[in-house]
Amino acid sequence: MPSSSSSFARQRRRLLCAAATLPPALVLGACGGGGSGGGPGPVLPPPSGAVTVTDRRVPLAAGVSLHVRDWQSSPADGITFVLLPGFGATALHFNSLAPALARRGRVIAISCRGFGQSDKPLPDATWRYDTDALVDDVHTVLEALAPGRVVLGGHSIAGNQVTRFAGRYPQRVRGLMYLDTNFDYTSQPDDGGQKESDNPTLSEPLLTEADTASVATAIAYFKRINRNWYPPMEADLLDKLDVRADGSVQINTPDALALDLYTAARRFSPDYRPLQVPALVFTALPGDRRDMFPWLPAALDATTEKDAADMVRLLRRARHTDAERLFAALPAGSQRMTFDPATHPDFFMAHETEVLRLVDAMTW
């Protein structure tokens, strides 16, 4: 197996744990309350018009364009939602949530440069992968496809782009959605003095040549390292696999590109002070070790069982503090919901009804 694919997989899993902390997930129970002032509006039934999906290309410069999925209902006269996938994911990761939201108007999901079907210029002086450069891309897409104000949502590390875009272009947003994101990836998580376990048994299994022998074996590998497996997750995976002549596969994002984006994102400290519109904050909280370490066998030795449980407690604590900080930094009228138990990659698939209920309750 080429080193780029195994390295990318390791980065992906580390970020899923880091993105839902720098550890994963938060608060008790089913949902959190509201912010100061504002408050939710009445919950209205969504329009019942049919939803169509169109795949588009939006040029950034000569020879470089982004892949965009565009879901629209008929008539498309409601809210336009813009969804940004997390690190390593593509627009297809929203294949369930997006059509459901589109019954309320329109949804545009953008595959970040470097991922999926979007073009992949290597990092250099022209093509940067820092947060401001990615925000420029979002602005280019909206100028081309979506005049007017939008609700902008980002999953995981794409929360950086949500905050930065809303600060730079306040006239273009009517609401924000943070889909299990961090308050600040540069800040030290609240670990309560507990150290992360270095137990090697907890490490995600590396991709092997057997895992990448075919599309089917790659799917089987990713099923093993995820607690749940929904059709959008499989569509997202297929979107970022290249199939060789012999039927084997590889991740189609260059290693150097992925690392550049990841590093830049972890160095970005968001400024929430310019935000002027209410936001929704969704947080996913792992309930047990199967949510964090789904590849572990059912029966473990006592040491590994304890180490895994300790890591779950660490992440829950860190995520609780982080989510509280994020919510406190947002404008009045913001709302939040916490899913417990849930997993970072798929909580908005597993809990789609609850997500939509809170979206419909917002006074956007």
- Domain regions of the chain by residue span: 20-203+256-361
Distance CA 251, CA 76 (A): 36
Q: For the full predicted model, state whether its pTM sits above 0.75.
A: yes
The mean pLDDT value of the chain amounts to 88
Triad 24, 26, 32: Cα angle to 5°: 145
Q: What stretches of 212-301 show up as alpha helix (H) in DSSP? A: 215-224, 231-239, 255-266, 289-292
Confidence of residue 104 (pLDDT cuts 50, 70, 90): very high
Which residue in this structure is represented by tokens 């496809």? 145
Q: What is the mean pLDDT of residues 34-62?
A: 67
Would you say residue 268 has pLDDT above 80? yes
Strands 279-284 and 249-251, how do they pair? unpaired
3-class DSSP state of 312: helix
The pair of three-digit structure tokens given for residue 14, joined into one six-digit string: 């580390």
Distance CA 54, CA 68 (A): 8
* Listed range (1-15, 29-43, 115-129, 144-158) with the worst mean pLDDT: 29-43
* Listed range (9-18, 48-57, 95-104, 327-336) with the worst mean pLDDT: 9-18
Distance CA 307, CA 144 (A): 50
Distance CA 211, CA 220 (A): 8
**DSSP assignment, residue 281?**
E
Among 288, 356, 320, 362, residue whose Cα is nearest residue 21: 320
328: enclosing H helix or E strand = helix 302-328
Confidence of residue 10 (pLDDT cuts 50, 70, 90): very low
The pair of three-digit structure tokens given for residue 273, joined into one six-digit string: 């002070």
Distance CA 241, CA 248 (A): 10
Domain 20-203+256-361 listed as CATH 3.80.30.10: no
Would you say residue 221 has pLDDT above 50? yes
Distance CA 167, CA 340 (A): 31
Confidence of residue 16 (pLDDT cuts 50, 70, 90): very low
Would you say residue 57 has pLDDT above 60? yes
Would you say residue 177 has pLDDT above 60? yes
pLDDT of residue 41: 43
**Letter for the amino acid at 353?**
T
Would you say residue 234 has pLDDT above 60? yes
Residues in CB range of 8: below 8 A, 6 or more apart: 88, 251, 253, 255, 258
